[in-house]
A and B are shown apart, each in its own frame.
Chain A
Amino acid sequence: MNLPIQRLAMILFAAFALLVAMVSYDQAIAGPRYRDDSRNARVALDRAGRERGGIVTADGEIVAESVADASDTQSFQRTYPHGSLYAHLVGYTSAIFGDSGLERSRAGALASDRDSTISGLLDALAGEDLRAKGLRITVNHELQQIATAALGDQTGAVVALDPATGAVLAMVSNPSFDPNVLVTLGATEAGDALESDPATPLTNRAIRELYAPGSTFKVLTAAAAIESGSTTTDTLFPNPGELDLPGTDATISNFADGSCGGTEQVTFQIAFALSCNTVFGIIGMEVGGGDLVAQAEAAGFNTEVPFEFDVVASAIPTADEFVNDLPAVAQTALGERDVRVTPLQMAMVAAAVANDGVVMTPYLVAEVTDADGQVLETTRPTVWRRAFSPATATVLEDLMERVITSGTGTRASVPRVRVGGKTGTPEREIGAPDAWFIGFGPVNAGPDERSIAVAVLVESGGDAGESATGGTVAAPIAQQLLAFWLAGTN
């Protein structure tokens, strides 16, 4: 009778060996797959429940914080007190939709290093500070609110930079979304709705969308002409009502078929202030494709902008593509055809004009602090590139000031402050034209003087629709930012 009992024992042991094999497979081999499965609520609960560092604006407004649950002190709820206002900057940390914005780019600092691993325990014993770190961003809360309110419910973007440092003072993209709905568990429905929304509220239009710059590009065309040495503010150009493009049936005409001053000849300064298309078509062809491309690339086109987030590179075709294609050069000089920009890039062009031709590296995070608010790291402004010579920048400042005082951008004027700017109204393939304004203030800012550069883009004319121009729709928005920021400076 012992033999069958021994055999049964062997069978049981074999069965247990199968259990060992299967549990090893489940925990060690297939384990990571099960652990990271999106339906495994542990991942979500763990991430959602953990404390993350706070984010404050330059003027101390809290824009992201972790609040301890009333019921469970170990668990935290991430909240964004200003909801959609900072959605594209702060972003969100979602168990279902992943991370975005600073929550993604600074996840390493914002996440607590306290965990249950042996290395975490050793670090804690060694006295290392494992608490979540905080961020102070460069954005001014009031300016951000003003920009958002000024844009209203129009689709578009507003970027404001400190020309001397590259610090982002405001960055708004509309439509926006409330990140608070994405951090809760079970946000699937809300998130899916945002992802499939045709208005693309999740896209940060200031850095992720490309637009034709229209006449704002004339700042670069003008710069190329000035740097070529043959053009000054008083140089006279012919002022035809319509410009035939060589070798084609196509023509360039002025905005709204206007006469652009009505004189047969026009100075460079007036052509810029009134944004004469025919004149700038002529100037573009004089400068040539090569110099135009070189100027745009000096300002940062065709290069990735080093920034907190990925920025789509603004694009201009290469010089080779302009050889023997004068019509293309003429149209590009007006900011039409194939030239495409982000609002951030155009804000950097305006900033370079205000900063003696130097483009500073744009940045969003001013300081990384520890959990007690002590500063651990401060971002130092760095030069990214030189767009213009200081002399050219001075001429451009003068040209752009004329746009505000006696040109297309009068609605951006600020009482008692000298500001400069340029409007743009590029046609869209479908719908009303976009409205652009780029500008800066004050003109001839002193070394330590408070200054600002802005870019405003309103898609398809915004509320004004077909009748919209950069001067009527975008300039008034920029005016509010300039007026707020420069109030008190003379």
Chain B
Amino acid sequence: MTRPAEASLLTAAAIVAAFGVALVNFARDDGVDAQVALTFGVFAMAFGAMYWATERWASRSTPLLFPLVALLTAVGFIEVYRIDPGLGSDQRWWLLASAGAAVLVLWWLRDEGVALLRRYRYLFLVGAIGLLLMPLLPESWPLHGAEINGSRLWVRLDLPGTPDAASFQPGEVAKLLVVAFLASFLAERHQTLRVMQRKIGPVHVPEPRQAVPVLIAFGMAFVVLIYQRDLGASLLLFAVFVTMLYAATGRHSYLAGGGFLAIGGGVAAWLAFDHVQVRVSAWLHPFDDFLGTGYQVAQSLFALGSGSLTGSGLGIGRPDLIPAAATDYVFAAVAEETGLAGSMAVLAGFALLVGVGMGVAIHSRDLFRKLLAAGLTLTLGIQTFLIIAGVVRLLPVTGIALPFMSYGGSSLLANMVAVALLVRISHEERT
């Protein structure tokens, strides 16, 4: 595929977004209004800027990534706008900000490339831990943690004179820093971590000193789980740690051990925490406590079932009946209004994105870039899987954002930067 083809696909995604807004307006009897033009303008500007930055600073990169991201963002935006035009309008600003961040990253790495990131790896580690702990800041401070829907994973900035507090989810940014740190750390240490001369029973284990980062990872994930009651983020962090260790070493013991710890941790969490038990029982028997704990899962299933094969049509379904339809359950909302056809298209979009990302990793010769590309793709893929699995009742709901599609600025920004990094890596490998 060529750059001009990429440009036309990006334009097509902007048209899809504008067309979707028009359909939603028609269903509301609003007709074509400024929202349609505004949406086209913002999408064209955001992805145009990233395209321009790619031309300038990553000209040999794969042209496949941004069009996929643009399409997924467009579909998610239409649904968020459909559920609440106010949120849609916010999301357009976030899209512009995310595109700006992606352009800045490409500009920052223009000379030295992603190798520049290695220099800051411990800063990233400290930053990630700091960000993860930020939601625990006491409420009395201007910058403080906030609890939303029972999970304390938000940070709010209350300044005198500002009516609306600005809030963001530091966990979304933290996961990028963690991946950058791990890629850099494992690129140096993968040899020592491969060595497994000790055995406990039939299982090869690394030297205890070398296993420290694994334990740190497990510890961080558990801290997030316990103090922030965030099942999704902790599971995602832990899964990314383990899979990156496996990618770096090729040792199955890490996967097996990680899986064991995850299951053990999950069972322990289920035994210890009420909110985890609630999630599990809502998953297994959503209709038993229909008006209580099972309500959200049941509403999601109603939305999926009502969407059937071809969906109700944009703006015609009732995804607003699902609690958190614009955030955690945006996939169910899309599935209701576009049917199985639409949900398959979204899944295919994410699968292609994962495929392209993994391709970038496999074709990378430099170890750090390879691990960074793999780590970023794994993060995207695992996060997508975890939240959709919860929505379709394959797993208990974990409550994280669906990349590019859920309403929310921190998530969109972090994922856009992740894709910008992947774009830059693919550029560097074709030099």
Contact = CB atoms under 8 A, between A and B. Distances in A.
Interface of A: 1-6, 8-9, 12-13, 15-16, 18-20, 22-24, 26-28, 30-35, 37, 39-42, 45-46, 73-74, 116
B56 to A, nearest CB: 29
B308 interface: yes
7 contacts: A8-B243, A12-B378, A19-B388, A27-B309, A34-B301, A41-B318, A116-B313
Nearest to B313: A116
Interface of B is mostly: helix
Contacts of B339: 27
B192 to A, nearest CB: 15
B247 A34 contact: no
A5 B249 CA distance: 10
B298 A16 contact: no
B332 to A, nearest CB: 9
B344 interface: yes
A31 B305 contact: yes
Contact of A27 (B305, B388, B389): B305
Interface of B: 28-29, 190, 243, 246-250, 287, 290, 298, 301-302, 304-309, 312-313, 316-318, 321, 335, 339-340, 343-344, 347, 350-351, 354-355, 358, 361-362, 367, 370-371, 374, 378, 381-382, 385, 388-389, 392-394
Contact of A5 (B190, B312, B358, B394): B358
A41 B321 contact: yes
A23 B16 CA distance: 24
Contacts of B249: 4
B392 A16 contact: no
Contact of B335 (A23, A30, A116): A23
Contacts of A116: 312-313, 316
B302 A40 contact: yes
A178 B335 CA distance: 39
Nearest to B341: A27
Contact of B340 (A4, A19, A28): A28
Contact of B343 (A27, A35, A37): A27
B316 A8 contact: no
Given A8-B247, A31-B308, A35-B305, A15 B340 contact: no
A19 B387 CA distance: 10
B102 to A, nearest CB: 23
B358 A39 contact: no
Contact of A8 (B340, B344, B374): B374
B250 A1 contact: yes
A433 B132 CA distance: 82
Contact of B354 (A16, A33, A46): A16
Nearest to B187: A1
B381 A23 contact: no
A397 B321 CA distance: 65
A87 B317 CA distance: 32
